[in-house]
Structure 1
C-alpha cells in the first residue's frame, strides 16, 4: 500500500499491536494449563467463546435456551436426554416476558401467581407447541396463610399466564415469607427430592440480570499439524454450541477452536475444559437481543469422536482388549448383535479406584488382572498407577525389608511365624492406605462422572461398515472387473444425492485408500452397479442391507420416534446377519460392527445421528493445519491458540458483534461498513464458512442468461409433448402468442435446487392414478422444462413441465426398491407445487445396457483421442427409485406407502440362525486361531533370520 502511495498506512508492528488489543478487548486470551501429567498447554476457554454467540446478531436469534417437547425430533433440545433426563436445575432456571414485563423474572422452585390468581410452583421451562410453557405444581393457600401442594401431579401452563413471581407477591399481598411457609412443600418430586427456594439462589447471584444455561459438544482427536504426508501429531479440541440449529452447526463458521497440544492428551484437555462446566460457574455476556448484560452457564452434553478416542474418553482399553465395548459392561456375554449391560460412570470410577488401590500394593500383575477382567483402563490413572507401583515398592523396601530402616518389630527375633506375617501385612496395608489417600485426595474433578459418548457415524459407519463391505467386494477383483465397475459407476445419476459426482476410475485405482466422502457415494450407488460377475450373492445382500441402514442413519429429522427406532433396529439386525453369512467372525472382532447395536439408544437420547456426526470438525482441521504450518514451532499450543483467538475476534466484529472496549463502560459495535463487510462479501463468507440463512426462497426460479436460454412459443419450445396433447393443466398463456424462456433451475418447497431432468415429487390440482395404484395428489416425475413468459417479473407465471412416472405397488425383487415407469401423461405445474427431489437410477439390468467406448475428456482444452468405457442407457422408460439415497430419505419414506419402505427382517428366526452361526464358529474358530498363530510364529522366525543375516553381512563387510 505504501508503494502505491496510500497515505497513513500503519506499520506491520502497529497493525499487530492493534489486533492484539482488540482481541483482548473482546475477551479472548489463551490461558495456560498444567495437566495432571505435568504437560503444558494453552486453551481458549469455552465460556469466552460461547459468550460471543450472545453478542453476535447473526447468531443470537437462533439460540434456543429451553428444551422443546415435540413429536418431530431434529435437534438436540428435542431429544430424550435434553427433555427427559437432564435435571431441572441444570436447565435454564428463569423466564421473563421480554416484550411486556422484561424486569419481572420468574425462577423455578419459586412461588408464582397466575393471571387467574392461582398459585403454582414452576419446576421447568420448556417449549411446547412453539410457545414457552412451565411445568409446575398447583399450590393453594390455606386460611392460616400456609401454602400447600394440591397434589403431586405436574401441570403444564403457558408461561405468559404467569403474572407475579415470589417477590412481586410479597409486595402485592404484603406476605412476609419465611422457611416455615414452605413446610408442606417439601419433597414435591420424589425423583429429585425437590424443595422450593425463597428466593432462588441464582436470583441473588444474577442481581437482576437474565440467566441462561447452554450445552456444548466438545470434540477431541489426534490431527497432523503438517500438510505433507509426514505425520506431526497434535491432540486438538473443538466445540460447538448445540443450542444452535444443526443446519447452522454444519457450517465451519460455528466450529470453535479450544486447544491443541503435541503433548497433552484429550483427557488432560477435557480436565481443563471442565473448569467452565461447573454448576457454580457463571459467565457474564452481552445479549444483543435483550440489549443488556446477562449471565450464562455451559454444560457438556456429549463427546462425539472416532472409536479409539471414545475408548480413551470412556476409560476403556479399546478394541484390542478382551472386553472392548466402551458401552457394554461385558461384550462377550451379550446376545449376538445386541447391546449388553451398559457401563455406568459410577462403576467405571469405582474400577479405576480399585486399580489405583491395587497399585498401592506395588504388585503390577494385580492391576493388569483388574484391567483384563473389566476392560477399564484410564489413561490419566495409568500415569499415577505407574508412579504408585514404584513408590509402593520403594516404601515397602524401607519399612518392611531393609534391616536398618524397617519397622523395629520386624527386627525382634522373638516374633515369628503367623504373628510376624500379620505385622508385615499390616505395615503393607498401612502403606497402601497412605498412598491411596495421597493420590485420591487430589482435586475432586479429576474423577468426575464421565460424559456421554454416542456412536459417531463418520468413523463408525462410513469408515467402518461401508469400508468393510467395500474391501470384501473388491479384494478378489482383477483389472477387468475393476474397469467394468468403474464404467458402470461413471454412468450413474448423481442428481438428487446432494453430492458431487465420483471419479469412478480413481475409486477403483485407489480402492484401499478411500475416505469418507467416497464411501458415502458408494453406499448410495454401488448396489446398482454390482451383479454376479463382481460379487457373490451374500455380499450383494450385504450391500442392500448396508444401503437401507445408511439412509436411515442420515435422517435430519424424526417425526415418529418409535416407528423409526423399530425400522432402525431391523436394519441394523439385517446388516449384522448379512455379515454373519459373509464372514461370521467379523461381528466378534470388529468393534465398529458391534457398536451399531447401540445406535437406537443413542438416537432416542440425543436425536438423529447426523447431529453428533463429526464431519464438520474433520473439515475444520484444514484451518488448524494452516495455522500449524505458519506457527513459530516453538510454542505451538500458545501460538495456534492466539492465532485462532484473533480469527474469532475478527469474525465476531465483522459479524456485527458487541464488545466492551478496554477501560470502557458501554458495549459497542464496529462501524456500519465493517458490519456490512461479511454480509456483502461472498469471498469473506466462504473463507469464514458462513452461509446466510434463508438465502434460498422456495417456489422461485432462476432464468438462464441470454446467451444460453432458448425462447419460443409454447408448442415450439415443448415440441412433441405439446403435439401429443399430453400435458395436463397447461397454463392459459400456452395457447396465446406468449414467448417462453428456458430457466436454469427452480426451488422446491424443501429448498432443493431442481434442474431439468431432476426427479421430483409434486402436487397436481387433479387426482391421478399411478400405474398400479391410486396415490391421490402427490405424484412422481422428471422435470422436462422450466419456463417463464417473456417480459414477466422474476417468478411470475413460471411453469414447470414434468414427465409423469408411475410407481410400482411392489418393490423390485432384486433390489427391493420401487420401480418408476413412464406414463403417457405430462403435467404443467407452478414452482411452488414442487415438494422435493429424489434420486433415481436407470434399470440397466432390465434393458441390458451395453458398455461402450466413448471419447475421453479434453486435455489442455484440446480434443483427446483417448477413449474410456461407459455404460449407455438404451431406454429411459424404467427406473429404480433409490431408497439408499441419503438426501431427503425421510421425505421419500413419508411420501411412499410403508410397505414399500419398511425394512423387513432378513431371518424370520434370528435366534435359531445365531445358534447355527455359533456352532460354525466353534468348529472353525480353533482352526483359524491355530493358523493365525502359525503365521505369527513364521513371521517371527523370518524376522529373526533376517536380523541374523544382516548381522552376518555387516561382520563380513567389516572384515573386507
Structure 2
C-alpha cells in the first residue's frame, strides 16, 4: 500500500474503490460489534483474482539481473478483456527476495480480509463488502514447481499435478492434493538423517520448505495452477522437437529448410521467419515458436533425410497447438479430440525412440484438457500478456540509480498504478466521507493515444474500418497513380459487366472503358486483418456462399459523372470433392486439397472475410534448390553472385489449406 489516499485505492476493471480495510484482528470488541452491524446492512461480493508469478531480467538485453514479479488480474473478466494490459495490475517485485517469501505478506493480508473489506462501489456510490480470494495461479513450469513444493524433473515422480512414476509419463496418475502433500512434508520432517529426507524427497517429488500458498483455503497449488500454453506447448515441446530434428537432418536439408523461408507465402501472418531464424532456432522465443508451429509440417516435408514419423509427430503437435489456441468455446467433442491427439503424439514419439518422451513437459500436455474443463478457455489463463507486462520492469530500471533498485522499481510502478486509477475515472472517499474523482481535464487527457501508449504500451492502436482500401499506389513524386480502365490486365468485358451490374440499380448506364482507376496495395478484411495483392482470402460471393480465392488486384474505379466504386478482383480456388460433398484431404497433412482455376470474379471489399493460409504442394511439384545469379548491393556498388534459392514449381497447380493456422479451422471452411 502507498502512503497517500490515491495509493490506497484498489484498481479493478469492474469497480474502482478505495481500500478502507477493517482489520478485525487488531480491532476492539466494540469496533468488531459495530463492524458486524454494518456488514449486515451492506451487500457482500466475492472477488476472485488470478495470481501471476514469474522471474524476468531487469536488463534490456533480457539477460542476468533476475527480478521476481507478482501481478494479478480479475478472474471474472471476459476472455477478450483478459488479453488487455490495462487489466493486469502490478503487486510487487524484488531482485533479492524469493517469490514465496515475496508472496507471504500478500497471503497474510488476504487472510485478514476473510471477513470482508469495506470498499466503495463506484457504480452506485455506496459502500459494499468485498472478499478477495485467489482463484488460479498462472506460472511457468519452473515457477509452478516452486509454488507447489515440487522437486522438479529430478524426482522419481516428476509431475507436480499427479503422482505418476517417471517410467509411465505417457499417462496420468492420481492427482495430488494439499492434504497428501502436507502429510508428506510432516513425514520428511520426522526423518532423523538428511540421507533419509533426501530419499523421501526424490521418491515423492515433494520438498518440505514452508509454502504460504498451502495455507490458503480457497486455493490448491495442484489443481488450481493450470498448464500455461506459452511454456507447456510452444516453448518446451515445440523447441525440443525442432532441436532433435535439426540434429537428425543432413546439411543439404538444413539449407533447404532455411532457404524455403524466403519462398514461403507469409501474407496471412503478421510476421515471418527468416533463414537466419531457423539457423538460430535455439534462440526462439514465444512469437517465433507461435509462427513456426503453424507451418513446420510443410517445411519439414521438404527434408529428404528426415524420417516421415517426425513429420507425423509435428503434424500432431501442430494440431494440438491449434486446438489450444483456437477461438471460441470448446465442446466436449473438442476436448476428447484434444486428448486423443495428445496420446497419439506421445505414442508417435515413443515409436521414434525420441528422448522427449522422458520429459515432464510432454506429460503436462495430458493435463490441459482437464484444466480447460475446470477453468475454462485456455486464453483465460495464458501468460503471454503477463510476460509482456514484465517489459515495464525493464523500462523502469532507467529511472533508478541502481543503489536500491527493488524499492525504486516498486515505488515507480505503484505511482503508475495510481495514475492508471485516476485517468480511468476511479473514485474514492476523502477521509472516509466525500466521494472524490480525478478532474475532467485529467481524465480527458488520459484518454489520448500518447498517454494510453505510454501507460499500456502499443495496445491502443488506431481502429481499422473493415472493407476499406488503403495505401494507394504512388509515383516517384508521391502522387497517386491514375490509369485508364483499358490498361487493366483483366478483360474489359468482365469489368464492364460487373460495373453495369453494380450501377444498374440506379438505372445508370455509362461507357466504363472511358473511366479511370486507382490501384491500391492493401485493404482491411472483416477480421480487421490487412490484405494485400497475392493474398489468399475467404470471401462471400454474390450468392452469399463462402469461397476461397486469390487477390489479383484492388482498385477504385471512377466513371464519368458517377460515384467512385471499390472493386476487388479474385481468382477462384476449387477443391476436389469426395462424393460431391466434402473436400479431398492430403494423406500426410490432413489438409484440404485445392487447385487454382482460371475463373476470375469481382466483389466488393466488404465481402472479404479473412485471410487464409494456402500452402503450395512442393512434394508433388518436385520443388527444390536452384542456382541463380543474384544481385547484391554492397555500399554503393552492385555485386552479382551465384547462390542457391528455393524455387516452387509454378506449373504445379495444387495447394493445401493450412489447417494448423490459428485464425481459421478448415473443418468449417466452405470451398
User: Residue 541 in 1 paired to residue 312 in 2?
Assistant: yes
CA distance in 1, matches of 2:76, 2:143: 24
CA-to-partner distance for each residue in 1:221-264, whole Å, 9 max, x for gaps? Answer: 22222335762232221222233333343333333221112333
1:329: which partner in 2? Answer: 163
Q: Which residue of the other structure, out of 587, 590, 593, is the alignment partner of 2:359?
A: 590
Aligned match of 1:518:
288
Contact 2:521 2:532 in 1 (8 A): yes
Q: Distance in 2 between matches of 1:739 and 1:202?
A: 79
Distance 2:46 2:393 in 1: 29
Tell whether 2:540 aligns with 1:763: yes
Contact 1:811/1:818 (<8 A) preserved: yes
* Matched ranges for 1:920-931 at <5 A: none
Among 747, 753, 758, the residue aligned to 2:524: 747
Q: 2:568 aligns with which of 790, 800, 810?
A: 800
Q: How much does 1:217 deviate?
A: 1.6
2:331 pairs with 1:561: yes
CA contact (8 A) 2:121 2:128 kept: yes
Inter-partner Cα distance in structure 2 for 1:565 and 1:484: 36
Give the whole-Å Cα distance in 2 for the aligned partners of 1:318 and 1:881. Answer: 41
Q: For the Cα contact (< 8 Å) 1:760–1:781, is it kept in 2?
A: yes
Cα separation, partners in 2 of 1:658 and 1:860, compared to 1, 3 Å: farther
Per mean C-alpha deviation after superposition, the further-off stretch among 722-731 and 711-720 is 722-731
Contact 2:524 2:531 survives alignment (8 Å): yes
Alpha-carbon distance, 1:726 to partner: 9.8
Q: Against the structure 1 CA distance between its residues 833 and 645, is the aligned structure 2 distance closer, same or farther, given a 3 Å change threshold?
A: same
Q: Secondary structure at the match of 1:803?
A: strand
Change (3 A) 1:738 1:632: same
Q: How has the CA–CA distance of structure 1 residues 755 and 660 changed in structure 2, closer, same or farther, with 3 Å as cutoff?
A: farther
Q: Tell me by how many angstroms 1:521 deviates.
A: 2.1
Q: Do the aligned partners of 1:547 and 1:884 also contact (CA within 8 Å) in 2?
A: yes
Change (3 A) 1:578 1:219: same
For residue 446 of structure 1, report the CA deviation from its aligned partner: 7.2
State how 1:667-686 maps to structure 2 within 5 Å: 667-672=436-441, 674-682=442-450, 684-685=452-453
Deviation of 1:518 (Å): 2.1
Helix, strand or coil: the match of 2:388? helix
- Secondary structure in 1 matching 2:260: helix
Map of 2:607 onto structure 1: 833
Contact kept, 8 Å, 1:465 with 1:593, in 2: the verdict is yes
Identify the residue that residue 612 of structure 1 maps to in structure 2. Answer: 381
CA apart distance, 1:321: 0.5
Q: Is 1:491 matched up with 2:263?
A: yes
Cα offset, 1:204, TM superposition = 4.8
Q: 1:313 aligns with which of 133, 141, 147?
A: 147
Deviation of the 1:474 alpha carbon: 0.7
- In the other structure, the counterpart of 1:873 is 648
Output one character per residue of 1:743-767: Cα deviation in whole Å (capped at 9) or x when no partner: 4443333333323222222222337
Q: Residues 776-829 of structure 1: CA distance to partner in whole angstroms, max 9, x if unpaired? A: x1111122233334499xx98433222210123211223321122112322322
CA contact (8 A) 1:844 1:873 kept: yes
From the superposition, tell whether residues 815 and 375 of structure 1 become closer, same or farther in structure 2 (CA, over 3 Å).
same
DSSP-derived class of the 1:54 partner? coil
Name the structure 2 match of 1:368.
198
Instruction: Give 1:879 shift.
Output: 1.9
- In structure 2, the partner of 1:280 is 114
SS of the residue corresponding to residue 219 of structure 1 reads strand
Aligned length: 631
Report the CA distance between 1:342 and its aligned residue. 1.1
Q: In the TM superposition, what are the counterparts of 1:245-644 in structure 2 within 5 Å?
A: 245-278=78-111, 280-332=114-166, 337-356=170-189, 358-359=190-191, 362-380=192-210, 445=215, 449-451=219-221, 452-477=224-249, 479-497=251-269, 499-508=270-279, 510-530=280-300, 531-558=302-329, 560-587=330-357, 589-628=358-397, 630-644=399-413
Contact 2:536 2:614 in 1 (8 A): yes
Q: CA deviation at 1:882?
A: 0.9
After TM superposition, give the deviation of residue 567 of structure 1 in Å.
1.8
Write out per-residue CA displacement over residues 525-559 of structure 1, whole angstroms, 9 at most, x where no aligned residue: 2222223434222222222222222211211322x
Cα distance in 1 for residues equivalent to 2:447 and 2:118 = 28
Match of 1:934 in 2: none
CA contact (8 A) 2:593 2:656 kept: yes
| In structure 1, C-alpha distance between the alignment counterparts of 2:456 and 2:172, rounded to whole Å | 41
Q: Contact between 2:568 and 2:603, CA under 8 Å: does it hold in 1? A: yes
Which string of whole-angstrom CA distances, capped at 9 and with x for unpartnered residues, describes residues 315-359 of structure 1? 22111110111111233585x622211112222222223333x15
Question: CA separation in 2, counterparts of 1:834 and 1:746?
Answer: 9
TM-score normalised over the length of structure 1: 0.60
- Structure 2 unmatched runs, 5+: 18-34, 505-509, 577-582
Deviation at 1:644, TM superposition (A): 0.4
- What is the CA deviation profile of residues 85-124 of structure 1, one whole-angstrom value per residue up to 9, with x for unaligned ones? xxxxxxxxxxxxxxxxxxxxxxxxxxxxxxxxxxxxxxxx
Would the aligned equivalents of 2:484 and 2:515 in 1 still touch at CA under 8 Å?
Answer: yes
Q: Distance in 2 between matches of 1:573 and 1:591?
A: 14
> Partners in 1 of 2:158 and 2:400 — Cα distance?
38
Tell me the CA shift for residue 614 of structure 1: 1.1
The aligned counterpart of 2:58 is 225
Task: Name the SS of the counterpart of 1:263 in structure 2.
Answer: coil
- Could you tell me which residue of structure 1 aligns to residue 584 of structure 2? 810
Distance 1:612 1:662, change over 3 A: same
The 1:862/1:643 distance shift into structure 2, 3 A limit, reads farther
SS of the counterpart of 2:390?
A: helix
Distance 1:603 1:784 in 2: 42
Which residue pairs with 2:32 in the alignment?
none
2:620 to 838, 843, 846: 846
2:26 paired residue number: none
> Secondary structure in 1 aligned to 2:387?
helix
Query: Could you state the TM-score of these two structures normalised by the residue count of structure 2?
Result: 0.83
User: Quick check: 1:462–1:516 contact (8 Å CA) kept in 2?
Assistant: yes
1:614-645 deviation digits (Å, cap 9, x = unpaired):
12222222221232454344443322111101
User: What residue in structure 2 maps to residue 784 of structure 1?
Assistant: 552
In structure 1, distance between residues paired with 2:350 and 2:492 = 52
What runs of 5+ residues in structure 1 fail to find an aligned partner?
1-19, 29-47, 57-200, 382-441, 768-776, 898-960
Q: What CA deviation, in whole Å up to 9, does each residue of 1:573-624 have, x standing for no partner?
A: 221122112225532x200111111111011122232332212222222221
User: 1:55 and 2:16 equivalent?
Assistant: yes
Contact 1:804/1:824, CA 8 A, preserved across alignment: yes
Deviation at 1:714? Answer: 4.9
Check the 8 A contact 1:561/1:604 in 2, yes or no: no
| Structure 1: distance between partners of 2:641 and 2:555 | 38
Deviation, 1:664, is 7.5
CA contact 2:134–2:218 (8 Å) conserved in 1? no
The DSSP-based 3-state class of the residue aligned with 1:380 is coil
Q: Determine the C-alpha separation between the residues in 2 that align with 1:641 and 1:863.
A: 54
Is the CA contact (8 Å cut-off) linking 2:155 and 2:201 kept in structure 1? no
The 3-state SS of whatever aligns with 1:820 is strand
Q: Provide the residue aligned with 2:463 in structure 1.
A: 695
Higher strand share: 2
Checking the alignment, whether the CA contact within 8 Å between 1:761 and 1:781 is kept in structure 2 is: yes
Q: Helix, strand or coil for the counterpart of 1:847?
A: coil
Task: Report if the CA contact (8 A) 1:227-1:629 is conserved.
Answer: no
